[in-house]
Amino acid sequence: MEIYLDNNATTLVDPRVVEAVRAELESGPSNPSSAHSLGRRARARLSAARAEVADYLGVPSKEIYFTSGGTEALNTLILGARFTGPLLASKIDHAAMARPIEALNKSVIHLPVGPSGHIEVEDLNPGAGLIALSAANPETGVKNPLDEISAFAKEHQIPLIVDGVALLGKESFNMPAGIAAMVFSGHKFHAPKGVGVMWISSKFPLDPLLIGGGQESNRRSGTENLPGIVGLAKAIELLHTELPDATGRMCRLRDLLESSLLAAFPQVKVNGSGPRLPNTSNIAFPDIDVELLLAQLDVACIAVSLGSACSSGGLEPYHVLLNMGLDPRLARSSLRFSLSRFTTEAEIQKTLETLLPLLEVTY
């Protein structure tokens, strides 16, 4: 039995999404920009997908734009934003946000993040020209206080860009007033890879990153990936019925994993004390060679992670934990377990049956 607990890296494509993608692939050649009947029918399916996403997010359809994923969307928003004044960011955000911010070559104020794993609203600067933050950190699962941040942004009329990639599909949420743009990536909520979506307020001044044929209302040129978009829309449609029940199941199983480990080994520590996503557990195992532990779990067909696989496909330095102020030894002895709505209690129990004896060798 293979046990997959690395769902913050990517998720299983839901079988119902697979069927939707297959149907689109089998529908024949379709370019939504074409004027003939095949193109018109493709355009209608594209519009229906856009409406599905907009309905779930509670925003106008005309403000929904499809991309190749979260990285492209964040590059579009950060590099294309028109603003003056410093940019407020965090040192624990994903590279897809951090590196475009670096490339701007503008003044950046990095907000402090402590052991809680989230920023504090009182550290926000009313003189900022742009705020770019994550809704939740994919390494620890800790959520930023998005309602309070968006209220601050609205009060001080500062555009707020939110990376929502780690959030969507884990729990229900409402789009707070005060956000200028928010991005999501299909493969993080049981849709295919290679497709993402960004909501951009019509009031947010933005220059496009990709120019060409003017697709997506000139926000993102390039022929739309209609099979991927249909799959993404189907995955979002499923959230209406999967949530909030899936949230409760993931939270219960995550808590089972953590409480069992802590009961057996009190020296084990959960990283990030702030409110977390229900599916994510970042755990420090003091004095354990976690690269060896990762390999041992892999041999036992249990997939977990040392950290983000999105930067290089290899072992990323533990910059998130280090920037939260963790002792470097603790940061480098941490593993991330990330569940999905398909994770079962039997899989968590099997993981514990495998993991506890491995830890007993040291503890």
**Percent of the chain whose pLDDT exceeds 90:** 94
CATH topology of domain 15-242: Aspartate Aminotransferase; domain 2 (3.40.640)
CB atoms within 10 A of CB 101: 21
Average pLDDT, integer, range 304-318: 62
Average pLDDT, integer, range 148-158: 97
CATH topology of domain 3-11+243-360: Aspartate Aminotransferase, domain 1 (3.90.1150)
Please identify which of the residues 310, 321, 324, 355 carries the catalytic annotation.
Answer: 310
Q: What pLDDT is stored for residue 318 in this prediction?
A: 81
Q: What pLDDT is stored for residue 317 in this prediction?
A: 47
Active site residue 310: yes
Q: Is 301 helix (H, G, I), strand (E, B) or coil?
A: coil
pTM beyond 0.85 = yes
pLDDT at residue 313 is higher than 80: no
Task: Tell me the per-residue pLDDT of 12-51, one tens digit each, with 9 for 90 and over.
Answer: 999 999 999 999 999 999 899 999 999 999 999 999 999 9
Residue that the structure tokens 């913050």 belong to: 8
Fold agreement between 3-11+243-360 and 15-242:
no
Q: What pLDDT is stored for residue 105 in this prediction?
A: 85
Strand partners, 337: 281
Average pLDDT, integer, range 246-259: 98
Which residues lie closer than 8 Å to 73 by C-beta, 6 or more apart? 67, 183, 184, 185, 196, 197, 198
In the chain, domain spans = 3-11+243-360, 15-242
The model's confidence at residue 6, banded by pLDDT at 50, 70 and 90, is very high
Q: What pLDDT is stored for residue 307 in this prediction?
A: 67
- Separation of alpha carbons 44 and 303, rounded Å: 40
Q: What is the DSSP secondary structure assignment for residue 314, as one 8-state letter?
A: S
